[in-house]
Structure 1
Amino acid sequence: MQHATPAGSRSKRSFAEDAYRRLKAEILDNQLPPGFRALEAELAETLGMSRTPVREALLRLQSEGLVRVEPRRGMVVLAISPAEMAEIYDVLTALETMAAETLARVQPDAERMKPLWQAVDDMDDALAADDLDRWADADDHFHRSLVEACGNARLAQTALTFRDQIRRTRHLTLRLRARPIRSNESHRNLLRLIEAGDAEAAFAAHRAQRQRAGQELIDILRRFRLENM
């Protein structure tokens, strides 16, 4: 973690938001891996702020299922078990397939679809360069763009919260799975169905793809016991 010296004019809310964003980013990128422990005072010193905004940030991260706050012991970064991952993917699959179906029903114009096509192009480019980290970022952008494009803000916000919970696990398993060529093809097929206005086919295709991806991730967690890393 990088040290920082806060400006005296910043508000407590600003400090809490800064602590939340920085800690969350480091958890999602596995800089703070599952099982990592730290006292509030240690985190406050590292972040360059008092303990109060750090405590607020930790409680917020706890509500999102990323850490557990322990009295007088600070916090511990939580692991995600295969069972928990299965539950998360069930919810995420339901939300994303609803988003795909909703988007197909309105037959979105090219401007609305542009971020989705760009994300798939970026995924192809990343695979061609054998850059799996860039591929994962582009894939994440695709799924974020899908739920945001459907027009249901509450659905999008809920889906993004669940995607945050699996992002770090996906990065841990990224090099333990087959090259995601099939995933790129599935994403392109989904976009064609959406543009054609075939809502039922878009729903079914995306449901099958998300279930397959979820099961693959769960199988890797079980095989390598990565939930304890």
Structure 2
Amino acid sequence: MVKKQSLTDKAYSAIKAEIIAGHISPNNFIDLPQIEEQLGMSRTPIREAMLRLQTEKIVEIMPKQGIRILPFSVKELDEFHQIISSLELQAVGNICRRHLTRTDIMPVLYALSSMENAVKARDTAAWAEANETFHRGLFILNGNSKLMETGLGYRDVIQRALTLAFSHLPMAAKERSLRNHNQLKEVILAGDEVSARNIFLEHCDWIGNQLHTVLAEREITSL
């Protein structure tokens, strides 16, 4: 039983990583024989992994048809973004109350440095990856393991769609996002919870509006 569970976990992590990275496009069907060959596993742990992914609304198991990667509507992405932003707001408050040092938040500082390099290089993909690392870092540093687990789980669900949405943002918006993140970092280090919450809320509202506008202009309804 232990071996079976570990295989399921391995299959779950591997398949989820492929989907999040955008290697399997939405609305496409997963090639189970190919997955079995790639992972060197039987179909049982892979199907169990698919059941978990269906629970997370990442895939849809369609009888007699296959397993389809679920796309996100823009409305769904906005709804998930609101949920995650609310959770991250609490994480920001928790971090401020922990009075962390620059050494403590080094992963976040590295993410900001990567975002800056990506902006200079006009590298959209690198920027999106660094941005994701920054936001995940807020959950990791917040000190509440349940909040971290829930927040990271939600980010997993929308990461692929969010990365695609970010690819449509102009570089000027990415530059402003970097400035906002740096401002947040400074007030977090100062332990100023009120300012941190205000900066974070303003940023979330702004980035949400930016995404909504750019996707509407391009008549994109699903990701």
What is the TM-score of this pair, normalised by structure 1?
0.87
In the TM superposition, what is the alpha-carbon distance from 1:49 to its structure 2 partner? 2.2
Q: Does 1:134 align with 2:126?
A: yes
**Partner Cα separation in structure 1 for residue 202 and residue 156 of structure 2:** 21
Flag the 1:72–1:207 CA change in 2: closer, same or farther, 3 A. Answer: same
**Partner Cα separation in structure 2 for residue 100 and residue 87 of structure 1:** 20
In the TM superposition, what is the alpha-carbon distance from 1:45 to its structure 2 partner? 4.4
- The correspondence for 1:157, drawn from 126, 149, 152, is 149
* 1:132-184: CA deviation from partner (whole Å, max 9, x where unpaired): 22221111111111111110111111111111122111322333211100011
In the TM superposition, what is the alpha-carbon distance from 1:226 to its structure 2 partner? 4.2
Which letter does structure 2 place at the counterpart of 1:17? D
Aligned length: 220
What residue number does 1:194 align with?
Answer: 188
Which letter does structure 2 place at the counterpart of 1:170? L
- The correspondence for 2:137, drawn from 141, 145, 166, is 145
Q: Does 1:116 align with 2:108?
A: yes
* 1:109-132: CA deviation from partner (whole Å, max 9, x where unpaired): 222122222211111112112222
**Partner Cα separation in structure 2 for residue 56 and residue 226 of structure 1:** 33
Describe how 1:144-223 pairs up with structure 2 within 5 A: 144-179=136-171, 180-223=174-217
Which letter does structure 1 place at the counterpart of 2:64? R
- Superposition RMSD in Å: 2.0
Q: Secondary structure at the match of 1:176?
A: coil
Q: Secondary structure at the match of 2:178?
A: helix
In the TM superposition, what is the alpha-carbon distance from 1:100 to its structure 2 partner? 0.9
Return 5+ residue gaps in structure 1 as ranges.
Answer: 1-9
* 1:72-113: CA deviation from partner (whole Å, max 9, x where unpaired): 322110011111112101111111111111211232122212
In the TM superposition, what is the alpha-carbon distance from 1:12 to its structure 2 partner? 2.5
What residue number does 2:95 align with?
Answer: 103
Aligned partners of 1:116 and 1:145 also within 8 Å: yes
Q: Secondary structure at the match of 1:110?
A: coil
- The correspondence for 2:77, drawn from 81, 85, 108, is 85
**Partner Cα separation in structure 1 for residue 130 and residue 177 of structure 2:** 12
What residue number does 1:26 align with?
Answer: 18
In the TM superposition, what is the alpha-carbon distance from 1:225 to its structure 2 partner? 4.9
**Partner Cα separation in structure 2 for residue 217 and residue 166 of structure 1:** 14
Return 5+ residue gaps in structure 2 as ranges.
Answer: none
What is the TM-score of this pair, normalised by structure 2?
0.89
Q: Percent identity between the aligned chains?
A: 32
* 1:51-72: CA deviation from partner (whole Å, max 9, x where unpaired): 1111101011111121011223
